[in-house]
Structure 1
Amino acid sequence: MALITLRRNLCHLSDFRMHGALAALRSQPVNHVHKVAKKRLCPRSCPLHLGPFKVRFHHARRKEFHSENGNDLRPVGEAMFSDRDSFEQNLENMDEQVFYRSLSNFTSSEEVLSFLSTLQTLPDVLAAGALQRICEMERKAEAHRLPKEILENRVFQALCIQFEQEPSNLSNTGLVTALQALTLLYVDPQSSLLLNLVAECQRRLQRGGLDVHSLCVLGETLIKLQGPESTTLDLIIYQLQGEKLENFAPEDIVALYRVLQACAEKADQHQAFLNRINNFSLSLVPNLSPKSISQVLTALVALDQTQALPLVLKLGKYAVRHIPHFTSEELGRVLDAFIYFGHHDRFFTTALEQRVASLCLTLAPEAVSRVMEYCSRKQILSQPILNAVAETFVCQAEKFSPRQVSELIEPFGKLNYLPPNASALFRKLEDMLFARFNSFPPKTLLKLLHSCSLIERHPVNFMAKIFSPYFLQQLQGEESCLDRLSLAQLTQLLLTSLLECPFYKGPKLHPKYQVKSFLTPCCSLETPVDFQLYKSVMVGLMDLLGARLYFASKVLTPYCYTIADVEIKLDEEGFVLPLTADEDVHRRIALCIDGPKRFCLNSRHLLGKEATKQRHLRLLGYQVVQIPYYEIETLTRLELVEYLQRKLFSQNAGVCW
């Protein structure tokens, strides 16, 4: 292994003999040195000013190291200590654990470089780790490039010039770690330092001389430098396919997922390899960190690994334990994956409720919107989450973008839930809409206002705007016509204004934007009837009424709703009329046979669109009779007939047919 010599008291380096890189620099004019340094590393606006320094190589025993979260750099499988006084100036005999621990404790690049200046020799792996730590801290400071003070620091120059001039003497770990570190910030891709490191990596790759960990690190680095189309990346994946998965550390498996994720368009070519990885990863899940779990789930989504459900389920099981430790971004990724794979777990929901209820005010807006989307997609009526999010919006509405506002409010309508602070919530929403109406994309605004109407918070103050030709033209955009869902939402808002807001006297929706039925094969505002449940009720009705001709199904009302379940007609005396009768109809009964899909998950709480439909049918003059699945699923045939008799004719015990 190469050892980089970093002498104490760099200001007195003129007392030392010049060797290697120092001699080469010393022999050149100052202007030439500046020019060469500029080509090596810096962006064009950041020239390096190299001064004299001494570099010397020794051979030392190498240890692998691993950075799980980008901060905690340490040797793999070894503990860490904080006794900095135990450092020896000669790192050939120094405990590397202490070195990585110290790097983790530093809070600035200047501290790292000051510390390195106290050392005489530095193994290349540790030098690469120090370089990586410097780049990580500058990246967290949102710097796009290294500051001039760092670039002109002689210790930093010593690190870079050694990596450039002697890459063949570096260990695999030192080589790929140095290259990885430089990709964290903007460095000119054509700099001699990067070109030399990449060339050396390619030479070793061609010889098959890189270990599994180095291949994984190099793969990720080349993706950043050359993109997923790199031909070298194909060779890396090919070599990794030939390795035994038992030789991969957990962090290498996670890195491999990230590499394959970047090549998602080639997933079909690597599916056999992915199947092996997915099966092998089942045994690694207990050892994965929260960050790794989120990254694996994200990769599985990108790679469309729907056949890897056992792995998704196991990752979900362990994600429950890590919910308190996920960052906002990681939690959002986990929720996105669960939404994609259709996964939900009551233990996960319980843990999520605790996290959101306790930390909602500190969660990033994007994480809050992902939590709400998860509840909405899975139809989870979680009062702790919805209440906490409503309170967050009231307190911090200005932090949310228009899209996030829509994603936050829509679940309240879909799940048919009003939080305790509903008045404050919708007052805040109305104020925001008045102030930022034009900043909301048309479809986002329509979905938002439609969701409000589902829970009887009717957007009367905005109906004139959304029914206007100008808004409808914006909504249509460059398409030849509006999509079916948007038309249905507009039509239902019109119906709401007629039935529930008779005081609204503004413009109405033009007939060409109105639909005839809310029940469509996709994007429907009505949930189709559960067929098995419908068959059971139909048998009971035939036993009760005597014949099929006394009730109808799939009846389209004049107001777009489809009574897809059952409609029964009664005359003035309460007698049941045949379904073909059009005269003497005094009363109509709409039987709503509500299966599980019409309710929130694992609850008896109707979804917003179903509650709105039943509310509107009552306003249209129907007698709505609800037949929920949980009341009839265990009844015998005779018990079902008696049940239907009570439900339909409780006030007309002497009815005849």
Structure 2
Amino acid sequence: MYKSSVDMLRCALRSASLWKCDSFIWTSTALQCRSRSFVASSRWGKTPTQGCPSHRVRYYCQPGERGEFLNVEQTTKLQPTDPSEPPLEKRAPFYTHLQDCLSPIDVLDASQRFPESQRHVSSMLTRMWDTTKKMTEEQRRYELQLMFDHLGFEELCDRAATDAWRMRSDDLVYSLLAMIKLGVSQNTRVVQTLLRVIQERVNQMDEKCLSVLAGSLRDMEDSKNVQALREALRLLLKDRISGIQSIVVLQSMMRVVGKNSPLHLKKQLAMKALSMTDKFSPPNNQYMFCSLAAMGLNFKPLLDVCSKKIAENVHEFPFNRLLAVLISCRELRYRNYSLFSSVSEYVVNTFDMWSNKQVILFLVTFEDLGFKPAALLDAFAERILRKSDMLTLKDLISVLKVFSLLNHDLKDDRQEFLVTVTKALESYLSKISHIDLLKAVHYLALLEHFPQTLLEKLFQPDTLDLLLEKGRQSNKVQKGLQGLDLCLRLDQPHLPPPLTSITNFQIPAPAQELPVNQEVLNVVREIVGNDAVQESVLEQGVYFIDCVITSSGQVEENRGAHDDDSGTLKCHERIAVVCPPHNSFCFGSTHPRGNLAVKLRHLKKLGYKTVLVPVHEFSSLTEEEKIKMIHKLILPTQESTESQTIEQESLKT
């Protein structure tokens, strides 16, 4: 007879292989336990919170188990350490030998030479993980496969599950972290056993143990036990945030809290981090971006402080850290012009040390953020002109995407750049996919470049029919075809007739009419009169114009007639007033991005003189300034004439 159900559990765990997912299926029973109430521990200088409710936590060895749940009450006190463990001086040879191991197999072989100990298990697992960190991906896969096939690994997992109840808290969390990093499935009983014991100990763990536990949970998929521990950490944090003194611990907690946590808890963590910014090291500033992104919290005061420190010390950050900051900005929808400028200038000043892959990743991320690093684009274009054969097909498509959507003008090098990129694309013509071909041709069309060879390949009946079919299912493919068709019809390149438009392609009607900017419309009517304005014009079924000015009769009445009529509108002239949203411009400027730039180009070819009103600037002006701004945009020559007249009068005086 066993003295308690815990002993029965231990016996069952010893009876089968514990690390293989399909080696043993526990079908008769599953375990259910009451977790202790997660109250604040005195380890962080807090008195226990009274009245916390007890939460029930279920222990699952395999997902989707069926059967009755057996209540397990722990009747014996768990010892954090084994009293029979040998003293440190007798364990020293083991740790010395462990440091000489260079692969997981070496560690497993070494485990046979020394007596068993709870601390040995954690040390061996951690060392096995450490040895794989510096391996190449291929070598790591090979070594891990050898590890899983080694009989010693099964014995090590057996010992980990058997001795988990007697392990110290730090050995528990480090063993769990190492197993997750080594790729042991979290559905195995050894991992679930560690999770179950950690649930019992979580209220007794200090900052360091909780930080390591948070790192493990961050990389684990959702399951009953993982969710229970995440909820435990959230409950602990409510009372322990003010007592956290380690920045690393705080950031680990922020990452494990996740996006589904209550907003007030996220803000408490962010406020605590803000109070500790004077202690931040450069890696802490970078890691804070990732931590806030993991929580899904755009906390601008904290991000501004970290951005300033990163911008001032940008040379201290390697590529992966700088890229992680930019990716976090994209996820948080946070933009800081000083930060982006500092990163792009640093990359330009050290351009030779960056590979093509690294520069392209920077450029693609900047494009996602809507920021145009002009100097970096020029430098990379110059490198492409020298070494275009170094770019892969994926690189070429990414380059075209960035240059077209950021509407970057290479000026004198423009034509040479387009020809060079086109030749590089043609070298991949035999193995390029239909979707990639459409992307490449579409981006080139946005740049007003139409290579005949690529178009002939795209317009082959089989290719075009397949794309038209996919266009009915994919919105992205449909937009690509629509943009290409518009460019072919409106730019009218010198091509054979079969390549001037996409046959059998119907431009879909807009889902709804776009709203007119009434504030701009009222100012325009005040300047030119109601009869001269036509609102809500849709050109080619795609391009929306807020209003079109068709005559100039009222301009002279409202603003006074001038002897020199160079500043008045001509009767046959049509002015298209366009009010794009702020995200149609590159961040920090009024430079139009790709789609807006193409729209302006096409409206000009349709006979319009286009007036672009930056709404984000217009809305912050006074009424008098708004009228002056629109009048200057509509009649720039008249403004110039008036300025010259005033200047001449002042000179005479």
Once the two structures are superposed, residues 528-565 of structure 1 have per-residue CA deviations (whole angstroms, 9 ceiling, x without a partner) of: 98654443343222xxxxx4213434344468645434
Alignment match, 2:257: 260
Does 1:348 find its partner at 2:349? no
Residues in 1 aligned to 2:381 and 2:577: alpha-carbon distance in whole angstroms: 31
Does 1:182 find its partner at 2:179? yes
Q: Could you say what secondary structure the match of 1:509 adopts?
A: coil
Once the two structures are superposed, residues 99-135 of structure 1 have per-residue CA deviations (whole angstroms, 9 ceiling, x without a partner) of: 9xx97xx894499979x99x99999779845642441
Alignment match, 1:83: none
- Contact 1:551/1:568 (CA < 8 Å) preserved in 2? yes
Aligned pair partner of 2:441 in 438, 446, 449: 449
TM norm structure 2: 0.65
- Contact 2:611/2:634 (CA < 8 Å) preserved in 1? no
TM norm structure 1: 0.64
Aligned pair partner of 2:522 in 535, 545, 549: 535
Deviation at 1:224, TM superposition (A): 5.1
Aligned pair partner of 2:488 in 491, 494, 515: 494
Deviation at 1:201, TM superposition (A): 3.0
Residues in 1 aligned to 2:132 and 2:15: alpha-carbon distance in whole angstroms: 20
Residues in 2 aligned to 1:626 and 1:163: alpha-carbon distance in whole angstroms: 68
Does 1:221 find its partner at 2:216? yes
Residues in 2 aligned to 1:454 and 1:357: alpha-carbon distance in whole angstroms: 26
Alignment match, 1:57: 85
- Contact 1:41/1:191 (CA < 8 Å) preserved in 2? yes
Alignment match, 1:19: none
Q: Could you say what secondary structure the match of 2:427 adopts?
A: helix
1:624-643 equivalent positions in 2, closer than 5 A: none
Alignment match, 2:69: none
Does 1:431 find its partner at 2:415? no
1:276-355 equivalent positions in 2, closer than 5 A: 276-288=268-280, 293=285, 296-298=288-290, 300-301=292-293, 303-306=295-298, 308-321=299-312, 323-355=314-346
Deviation at 1:386, TM superposition (A): 1.3
Distance 1:628 1:299, change over 3 A: closer
Deviation at 1:244, TM superposition (A): 0.8
Structure 2 letter corresponding to 1:493:
C
Give aligned pairs, total: 539
Alignment match, 1:564: 546
Q: Could you say what secondary structure the match of 2:573 adopts?
A: strand
Alignment match, 2:400: 409
Alignment match, 1:237: 233
Deviation at 1:432, TM superposition (A): 3.8
Q: Could you say what secondary structure the match of 1:456 adopts?
A: coil
Residues in 2 aligned to 1:494 and 1:296: alpha-carbon distance in whole angstroms: 47
Residues in 1 aligned to 2:350 and 2:635: alpha-carbon distance in whole angstroms: 51
Q: Could you say what secondary structure the match of 2:450 adopts?
A: coil
- Contact 1:406/1:447 (CA < 8 Å) preserved in 2? yes
Alignment match, 1:246: 242
Distance 1:433 1:603, change over 3 A: same
Alignment match, 1:587: 572
Alignment match, 1:582: none
Residues in 2 aligned to 1:477 and 1:409: alpha-carbon distance in whole angstroms: 25
- Contact 1:297/1:334 (CA < 8 Å) preserved in 2? yes
Residues in 2 aligned to 1:149 and 1:607: alpha-carbon distance in whole angstroms: 52
Aligned pair partner of 1:461 in 438, 453, 468: 453
Residues in 1 aligned to 2:588 and 2:186: alpha-carbon distance in whole angstroms: 55
Alignment match, 2:47: none
Q: Could you say what secondary structure the match of 1:416 adopts?
A: coil
Alignment match, 1:63: none
Distance 1:186 1:639, change over 3 A: closer
Once the two structures are superposed, residues 36-66 of structure 1 have per-residue CA deviations (whole angstroms, 9 ceiling, x without a partner) of: 9994779999xxxxxxxxx972467xxxxxx
Does 1:211 find its partner at 2:206? yes
1:382-397 equivalent positions in 2, closer than 5 A: 382-391=373-382, 395=387
Alignment match, 1:550: 532
Deviation at 1:348, TM superposition (A): 0.7
Residues in 2 aligned to 1:222 and 1:625: alpha-carbon distance in whole angstroms: 54
Distance 1:285 1:530, change over 3 A: farther
Alignment match, 2:7: none
1:20-169 equivalent positions in 2, closer than 5 A: 39=17, 57-58=85-86, 108-109=102-103, 128=122, 131-141=125-135, 142=137, 143-144=140-141, 145-146=143-144, 166-169=163-166
Q: Could you say what secondary structure the match of 1:418 adopts?
A: coil
Residues in 1 aligned to 2:491 and 2:169: alpha-carbon distance in whole angstroms: 71
Aligned CA RMSD, in angstroms, stands at 5.3
- Contact 2:491/2:602 (CA < 8 Å) preserved in 1? no
Distance 1:645 1:211, change over 3 A: closer
Residues in 2 aligned to 1:641 and 1:191: alpha-carbon distance in whole angstroms: 72
Distance 1:185 1:569, change over 3 A: same
- Contact 2:17/2:158 (CA < 8 Å) preserved in 1? no
Structure 2 letter corresponding to 1:454:
L
Distance 1:136 1:532, change over 3 A: farther
Residues in 1 aligned to 2:581 and 2:472: alpha-carbon distance in whole angstroms: 37
Structure 2 letter corresponding to 1:352:
V
Does 1:647 find its partner at 2:637? yes
Deviation at 1:164, TM superposition (A): 6.3
555-564 vs 237-246, which deviates more? 555-564
Distance 1:167 1:460, change over 3 A: same
Residues in 2 aligned to 1:168 and 1:467: alpha-carbon distance in whole angstroms: 68
Residues in 2 aligned to 1:442 and 1:497: alpha-carbon distance in whole angstroms: 24
Residues in 1 aligned to 2:490 and 2:441: alpha-carbon distance in whole angstroms: 12
- Contact 1:365/1:400 (CA < 8 Å) preserved in 2? no
- Contact 2:468/2:505 (CA < 8 Å) preserved in 1? no
Alignment match, 1:616: 602
Deviation at 1:413, TM superposition (A): 1.8
Distance 1:609 1:167, change over 3 A: closer
Contiguous gaps of at least 5 residues in structure 2: 1-13, 24-82, 557-569, 642-653
Contiguous gaps of at least 5 residues in structure 1: 1-35, 46-54, 61-88, 523-527, 542-546, 575-584, 652-657
- Contact 2:523/2:626 (CA < 8 Å) preserved in 1? no
- Contact 1:447/1:489 (CA < 8 Å) preserved in 2? no
Structure 1 letter corresponding to 2:343:
L
445-454 vs 220-229, which deviates more? 220-229
Residues in 2 aligned to 1:254 and 1:260: alpha-carbon distance in whole angstroms: 10
Deviation at 1:347, TM superposition (A): 1.8
Distance 1:191 1:152, change over 3 A: same
Residues in 2 aligned to 1:635 and 1:235: alpha-carbon distance in whole angstroms: 55
Residues in 2 aligned to 1:294 and 1:555: alpha-carbon distance in whole angstroms: 47
Aligned pair partner of 1:600 in 586, 589, 603: 586
Residues in 2 aligned to 1:613 and 1:641: alpha-carbon distance in whole angstroms: 22
Aligned pair partner of 1:506 in 489, 498, 501: 498
- Paired-residue identity, %: 17
Deviation at 1:489, TM superposition (A): 0.7
Residues in 2 aligned to 1:213 and 1:385: alpha-carbon distance in whole angstroms: 42
Q: Could you say what secondary structure the match of 1:244 adopts?
A: helix
Residues in 1 aligned to 2:349 and 2:632: alpha-carbon distance in whole angstroms: 49
Alignment match, 2:479: 485
Distance 1:283 1:185, change over 3 A: same
Deviation at 1:349, TM superposition (A): 1.7
